[in-house]
Amino acid sequence: MIFGYARISSKSQNLSRQIKELEEYGCDRIFHEKQSGKDFDRPIYQEMRSKMRFGDVLVVHDLSRFGRNKKQILEEWKNLAEEEIDIVVLNMPILDTRKYKELEGVGQLVSDIVLTLLSWMVDEERERIRTAQREGIEIAKKLGKFKGGKKRYYKDAKGKNRVIYDEVVRCLKENVSVMDIHRKTGLSRNTIYSIKRENEITETT
């Protein structure tokens, strides 16, 4: 039997395109769900796996629909191979395990290719997210909408925050180490260094 599996991570995404491709491929049964791909503890995926047997085929649109944790993907891929369940990745024709049944050792090579490709995909996605975040911040700054984190400890702070700020400044002027100030006040070292820079306090020897 040919099983199709479609997955999206959020309700704002759409399953239609994946399902259409799986139908056109000729899948006998199609399972789909809206779940994160961080692991394989997904109810619909596990339901599908419980029905799969020797000689079945699992079809997915791409590796990211299969999952996003590269270590777990490789483990699941090997589990399927051990159960003699074939895997087809539609947008990567090389990832069709049925092609390698007669070629000794190639199955392991394919698994290695999967891991390499997935690593690349994950890195690329993370870089795209970082780039988008940087671009979004730059645009917000230009529009005057980016405020950054709100400071709690500064010279015009009120109440307890002002007391702590003044204590940090006093300690810095007395050359108390940043680590000791951190232990005394509970403030992060980054916050203390920020206060130090703002006051241009230099240590004397």
pLDDT, tens digit, for every residue of 129-184?
Answer: 677 777 666 776 666 655 555 678 888 888 888 888 988 999 988 888 888 898 88
**Of residues 9, 36, 64, 111, which has the active-site annotation?**
9
Q: Is-above-0.75 flag for pTM?
A: no
Tell me, which fold does domain 159-199 have in CATH?
Arc Repressor Mutant, subunit A (1.10.10)
**In the chain, which segments carry CATH 1.10.10.60?**
159-199
pLDDT for the residue numbered 205: 41
What b/e string do you get for 119-138 counting C-beta neighbours within 10 Å, with b at 16 or more? eeebeeeeeeeeeeeeeeee
Residues in the chain: 205
Q: Residue range 100-128: average pLDDT?
A: 66
In this predicted structure, the answer to whether residue 26 has a pLDDT above a threshold of 90 is yes
**In the chain, which segments carry CATH 3.40.50.1390?**
2-126
Higher-pLDDT residue of 62 and 56 is 56
The architecture CATH gives domain 2-126 = 3-Layer(aba) Sandwich (3.40)
Residue 88, number of CB atoms within 10 A of its CB: 19
Q: Residue range 74-102: average pLDDT?
A: 85
Tell me, yes or no, if 16 is annotated catalytic: no
Please give the share of the chain, as a percent, with pLDDT higher than 70: 78
CA angle 20, 118, 52 (to 5 degrees): 55
